[in-house]
Structure 1
């Protein structure tokens, strides 16, 4: 090929190679020694920042888990204390109700005994009146039917015998 043969014959080919090497070296120095370390430092700083952020996130997650566990423990303890307080209040209320019920039962028993005594007294009084009324009625009946007058004491005794038995 004539183009390649022409290059070997011309003297400016060597100068082109020189300038190519010089430009390449300058670009290498500028980029390789000037810009590359800055880029590498930026990438390393970003990697460190990402790693630090991940570590901080893991630490925050662990701290949040710890706080959540503490919250659950406190919540469980508070719930248990509340249940104990409710149970205690229920027990106290039951004891108070039992005391009031016993007091009311005692009062009612006293009133019942008094009522029974009143009923018994009224019964006795009524029986006594019934006996006297019955004795008078019996005496009047005997007097009307037979014409014989019966003594009040005899009539009372006869009515007592019939009523009591």
Structure 2
């Protein structure tokens, strides 16, 4: 049933500073025109045609249930370790202490790599794989490095983690 839906409604990349646009099929780390950050743009009208309650009910409770709004076009490139679908927990006592009648906490520690970083790195490494990356790298001494390494291993890609020299010995993931 899931194959009936578009793999992604990714339309392109737009610079957050100068507004220049680029194809999502090209590899860019920053805007070639001004060096600033590029954001993914999606065809939300097209996504709205298929991303409705009924199809969502039948999809797995993972990050990829929202694949129309993810940057990976080819379903075969989607990597997963079971991320997403983490529980919402009632924070009753904390809510009372803060004067809130209802407080819910999202327990992202239930992701396979122990943090919310699993979500972003699942998408990033999937996209890197789709674009033909031969290796991936990240500057991190913590959860992002652990998540990138896990998803790179799933993709069969070498992973390189760069940490500052003064990172405490107990810190590396």
TM-score (norm 1): 0.15
**Which one has more relative contact order, counting CA pairs under 8 Å at least 6 apart?**
2
- Structure holding more strand per residue: 2
Bigger Rg over Cα: 1
